[in-house]
């Protein structure tokens, strides 16, 4: 009897020791996320994924993140699965990460659609996620308590910045084309009233379908209207196509704006000298005076041999920085406490200081970027500009 | 509409048409001879494009030369796939329906594998290079050289394909096989060899098309699928298995698309293209040219 009792005590003791030992032996911080490694979003997701990998490497080179609760620095380890660009797969991945993998922290997935899809999971488990590659005015309606968005490219603010720039450039006539896709259409909804309110003459407004393989007819028509500014609310395949074929039809607007893709890694090599003067959206430049901005560019180029995507890579890295600082300040991996810190405090990042208002980053202004001498410069608003707007845009190079 | 705009539309229609014809002809060759729908067709085009891109950016190989090298690579892929998967399957003596449905799944698997292999090698990044971006004036209409070049090359290949099928013994044998498989075998046509030949030809043309497209469009591992869809539409328009019909249907489709969006709105592109497609299916279910030509 006594022997049995002793065995039982030892057994219980052992079990407690093991469990406790498991907790004591916490040797890393596991951060889970789902990523569009394949599928239609994969090209855009690459810059985001690489920013996560770079952040992981740099943090670990530093010994990890200091967590007061454990009294030391813990290295980070990314745990991720391919969601094939499918929202429903991403939702399953996050469920698995939280309930099965039991990760310590979560990073954001790729694209607005998947951010929307994952939102209920964050709410359900009260899991803090700093969103990055999502922009839609509808994100505000979520009134999330555990989901924040670092982007300053919400359509209303982005188009306001663009139209303000056009006003300052004294542009008179504008032609607008857009692809039939969610984000460009949302921008269009704000752009048109802003333009009308600014007294601009809209000489052409056209939309075109996804998967278009030839822009010549659209561009010829725009050329015929001879507008001062040509605004193409485009996404990557047609952004490239438009930039190539606008030269073919010899259309030389004084201002040329393209939406998504004109800051993508492949854009510069593909267009060469023709990039000069092309404007796009985003809110980052390595030349801006934000601490770590230049270092981010250098580290990224050293690791991946290409420049980062000025939008996706930066946003992703910024979201990592916020999580990292929140953990250090809260001194714990407790989600409730982390959420409080993220919601209230200000975080210095490579994109300047960020403090959330509700779930949105209102501190970073929406900006307009422009290719100048092979680099992307911030040209608007003037308080944060790294270069003056190049206006009128020079004619296309002769070949 | 002034003359310049009309000419511009005509040129664009011709360029798009020649590309569509080229994209479709390979798909139809395999369908015609073997009754197999190659839904990995777009991925073979994608492989061709990546080979040309890689050779140009890494070794400075002229994309013109890559037309040959890309098609060589895809021919080898075609040879391997045909020899180890499809020929044994056809020889297995299973019913035609089961071979067709299995082949559909197999081609689907091949397309997924190829896409992911390209992601592993080149990542999912969008890529592209700048080549022949000069602009020439033809009848006062500006046309970019790489598109003009795509049109000329596509036209030449289409003409070669036409004469090959019409005039050469091998081409005639392939057409015989397309028209009446059993009878063709009875008169001594070596069907296995012709399956292999048409498979390699189809893959070769797809690879060449990819190299051609890489000069105009940017590349991604997912670029292939829309071409598979276009190719399907074109071969159904021209008649399934009717290779010459699909060449002509490619041009028709290119024209309908270009003229349609320029007289209405680009936003209506899909409605116009697929409207015509549905119309043809309703009134000429075997395609514009049926099994003839």
Q: pLDDT-based confidence at A21, cuts 50/70/90?
A: very low
Does the pLDDT at position B287 exceed 90? no
Sign of CA dihedral A93, A97, A101, A105: positive
> What range defines the domain where residue B33 resides?
8-283
Question: Does the pLDDT at position A247 exceed 50?
Answer: yes
Q: Please indicate, yes or no, if residue B289 is contained in any of the structural domains.
A: no
pLDDT, average across residues A315-319:
97
* Residue B122 covered by a domain: yes
Q: How many A/B residue pairs have CB atoms within 8 Å?
A: 111
- How does residue B66 score in pLDDT terms, banded at 50, 70 and 90? very high
- A382 and A162 Cβ atoms separated by less than 8 Å: no
Q: Which residues of A touch B (CB under 8 A)?
A: 37-40, 42-43, 45-46, 180, 206-209, 211-214, 216-218, 220, 236-237, 240-241, 244-245, 247-250, 261, 264-266, 269-272, 274, 306, 399
Closest-CA distance of chain B to residue A241, Å = 7
> Which of A31-45, A247-261, B236-250 has the highest average model confidence (pLDDT)?
A247-261
| Contacts for A13 with CB less than 8 Å, ≥ 6 apart | none
3-state secondary structure of A180: coil
Mean pLDDT in residue range A153-158: 95
Enter the ipTM. 0.79
Q: At residue A20, does pLDDT exceed 60?
A: no
Do the domain assignments include residue B142? yes
Check the CA dihedral B79-B85-B90-B93 and report its sign: positive
Say if residues B28 and B158 touch (Cβ distance below 8 Å).
no
The residue with greater pLDDT, B3 or A304, is A304
- Whole-number pLDDT of residue A9: 62
Predicted pLDDT at B3:
82
Contact A266, B219 (CB under 8 A): no
pLDDT above 80 for B111: yes
Q: Estimate to the nearest angstrom the gap between the alpha carbon of B256 and the chain centroid.
A: 18
A206 to B127: CB separation less than 8 angstroms, yes or no: no
B4-28 in b/e form (b: 16+ CB < 10 A) is eeeebbebbbbbbbbbbbbbbbbbb
Mean pLDDT, chain B, whole residue set: 90
Domains and CATH numbers, chain A: 29-152+288-361 (3.40.50.2300), 155-282+366-380 (3.40.50.2300)
The predicted pLDDT at position A178 comes to 95
Q: Distance between CA atoms of A191 and B79, rounded to whole angstroms? A: 54
Count of CB atoms situated within 10 Å of the CB of B173: 22
Instruction: Assess B217–A contact: CB distance below 8 Å, yes or no.
Output: yes
Q: Which residues are registered as beta bridge partners of B152? A: none
pLDDT over 50 at A34, yes or no: yes
Residues A292 and A311: their CA atoms lie apart, in Å, by: 16
From the list B130, B144, B258, which residue is nearest A272 (CB)? B130
Phi, psi for residue B86 in degrees, rounded to 5? -85, -40
Residue B170, domain CATH: 1.10.3470
Is the confidence at residue A18, as pLDDT, over 60? Answer: no
Which has more pLDDT, A251 or A399? A251
Q: Report if residue B3 sits inside a domain.
A: no
Least Cα separation, residue A248 to chain B (angstroms) = 5
Query: Any CB–CB contact under 8 A between B220 and chain A?
Result: yes
- What pLDDT was estimated at residue B286? 87
Give the distance from CA B209 to its chain's centroid.
Answer: 7
What does DSSP say about strands A105-106 and A29-35: parallel, antiparallel, or unpaired? parallel
Enter the tokens of residue B139.
């009848």
Q: Is the model's pLDDT at B193 over the cut of 50?
A: yes
B19, B126, B258: residue with CB nearest A217: B258
Q: Where are the alpha helices (DSSP H) in A249-334?
A: 267-271, 293-304, 312-330
Residue A164 has phi, psi (to 5 degrees) of -60, -40
Question: Is B191 domain-assigned?
Answer: yes
Output B64 or B291, whichever has higher pLDDT: B64
B5, B127, B144 ranked by CB distance to A220: nearest: B5
- What is the model's pLDDT at position B225? 92
Residue at token pair 């024209």:
B255
- Residue A341's pLDDT band (cuts 50, 70, 90): very high
Ordered DSSP codes for A256-276: EEE-TTTTSTTHHHHHGGGGT
H or E element in which residue B193 lies? helix B191-214
B293 within a domain of the structure (yes/no): no
Q: For the residues B215-224, what does the mean pLDDT come to?
A: 91
Residue B21 in any domain: the answer is yes
- Least confident range from A125-129, A301-305, B36-40, B267-271: namely B267-271
> Which residues of chain A make contact with B123, given a CB cutoff of 8 A?
46
- Tokens read off for B38: 């190659």
Q: Across the interface, do A247 and B128 touch by the CB < 8 Å criterion?
A: no
CA-to-CA separations, B291 to A152, B177, B180, B235, B284, in angstroms, rounded: 58, 13, 11, 11, 11
Q: How many domains are contained in chain B? A: 1
Q: Which of B19, B127, B266 sits opposite A266 (nearest CB)?
A: B127
Q: How far apart are CA B270 and CA A166, in angstroms?
A: 34
Q: What is the pTM of this model?
A: 0.85
In a domain, B2, yes or no: no
Q: Show residues of chain A in contact with B130, CB under 8 Å.
A: 269-272
Q: What is the number of helices (H) and of strands (E) in chain B?
A: 12, 2
- B256-266: average pLDDT: 86
Mean pLDDT to the nearest integer, A19-24? 48
**Average confidence (pLDDT) over A260-278:** 89
Q: Determine, for residues A217 and B143 on separate chains, whether the beta-carbon distance falls below 8 Å.
A: no
pLDDT (0 to 100) of residue A22: 45
What residue of B is the nearest CA neighbor of A205?
B265
pLDDT tens string B124-150: 888 888 888 888 888 888 888 989 999
């Amino acid at each position: 009897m006594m022997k049995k009792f002793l065995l039982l005590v030892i057994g219980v003791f052992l079990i407690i020791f093991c469990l406790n030992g498991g907790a004591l032996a916490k040797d890393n911080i596991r951060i889970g996320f789902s990523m569009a490694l394949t599928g239609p979003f994969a090209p855009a997701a690459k810059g985001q994924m690489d920013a996560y990998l770079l952040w992981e490497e740099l943090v670990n080179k530093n010994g990890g993140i200091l967590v007061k609760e454990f009294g030391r620095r813990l290295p980070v380890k990314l745990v991720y699965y391919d969601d094939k660009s499918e929202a429903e797969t991403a939702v399953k991945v996050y469920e698995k990460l939280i309930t099965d993998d039991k990760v310590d922290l979560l990073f954001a997935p790729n694209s607005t659609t998947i951010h929307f899809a994952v939102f209920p999971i964050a709410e359900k488990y009260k899991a803090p996620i700093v969103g990055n590659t999502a922009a839609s005015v509808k994100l505000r309606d979520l009134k999330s308590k555990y989901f924040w968005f670092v982007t300053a490219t919400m359509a209303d603010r982005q188009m306001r910045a663009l139209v303000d720039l056009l006003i300052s450039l004294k542009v008179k006539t504008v032609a607008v084309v857009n692809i039939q896709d969610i984000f460009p259409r949302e921008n269009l909804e704000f752009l048109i009233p802003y333009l009308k309110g600014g007294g601009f003459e809209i000489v052409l407004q056209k939309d075109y379908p996804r998967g278009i393989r030839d822009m010549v007819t659209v561009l010829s028509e725009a050329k015929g209207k001879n507008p001062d500014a040509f605004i193409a609310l485009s996404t990557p395949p047609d952004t490239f196509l438009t930039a190539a074929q606008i030269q073919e039809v010899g259309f030389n607007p004084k201002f040329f704006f393209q939406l998504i893709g004109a800051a993508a890694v492949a854009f510069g090599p593909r267009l060469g000298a023709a990039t000069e003067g092309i404007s796009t959206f985003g809110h980052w430049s390595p030349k801006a005076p934000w601490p770590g901005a230049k270092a981010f560019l250098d580290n990224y180029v050293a690791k991946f041999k290409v420049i980062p995507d000025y939008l996706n890579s930066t946003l992703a890295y910024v979201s990592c920085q916020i999580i990292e600082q929140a953990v250090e300040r809260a001194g714990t991996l407790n989600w409730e406490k982390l959420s409080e810190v993220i919601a209230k405090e200000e975080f210095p990042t490579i994109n300047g200081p960020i403090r959330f208002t509700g779930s949105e980053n209102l501190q970073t202004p929406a900006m307009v970027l422009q290719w100048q001498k092979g680099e992307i410069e911030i040209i608007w608003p003037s308080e944060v500009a790294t270069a003056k707007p190049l206006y009128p845009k020079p004619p296309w190079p002769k070949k | 509409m002034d003359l310049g705009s009309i000419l511009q539309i005509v040129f664009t229609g011709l360029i798009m048409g020649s590309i569509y014809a080229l994209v479709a002809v390979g798909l139809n060759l395999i369908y015609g001879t073997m009754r197999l729908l190659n839904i990995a067709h777009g991925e073979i085009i994608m492989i061709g494009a990546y080979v040309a891109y890689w050779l140009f950016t890494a070794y400075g190989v002229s994309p013109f030369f890559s037309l040959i090298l890309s098609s060589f690579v895809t021919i080898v892929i075609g040879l391997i796939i045909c020899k180890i998967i499809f020929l044994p399957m056809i020889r297995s003596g299973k019913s035609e329906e089961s071979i067709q449905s299995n082949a559909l799944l197999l081609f689907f698997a091949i397309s997924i594998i190829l896409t992911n292999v390209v992601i592993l090698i080149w990542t999912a990044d969008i890529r592209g290079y700048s080549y022949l971006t000069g602009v020439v004036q033809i009848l006062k209409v500006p046309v970019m050289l790489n598109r003009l070049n795509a049109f000329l090359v596509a036209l030449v290949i289409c003409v070669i394909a036409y004469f090959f099928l019409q005039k050469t013994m091998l081409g005639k044998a392939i057409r015989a096989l397309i028209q009446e498989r059993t009878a063709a075998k009875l008169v001594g046509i070596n069907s296995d060899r012709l399956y292999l030949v048409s498979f390699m030809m189809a893959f070769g043309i797809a690879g060449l098309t990819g190299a051609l497209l890489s000069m105009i469009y940017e590349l991604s591992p997912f670029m292939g699928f829309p071409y598979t869809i276009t190719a399907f539409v074109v071969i159904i328009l021209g008649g399934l298995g009717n290779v010459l019909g699909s060449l002509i249907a490619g041009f028709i489709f290119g024209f309908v698309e270009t003229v349609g969006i320029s007289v209405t709105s680009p936003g209506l592109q899909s409605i116009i293209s697929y409207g015509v497609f549905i119309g043809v299916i309703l009134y000429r279910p075997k395609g514009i040219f049926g099994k003839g030509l």
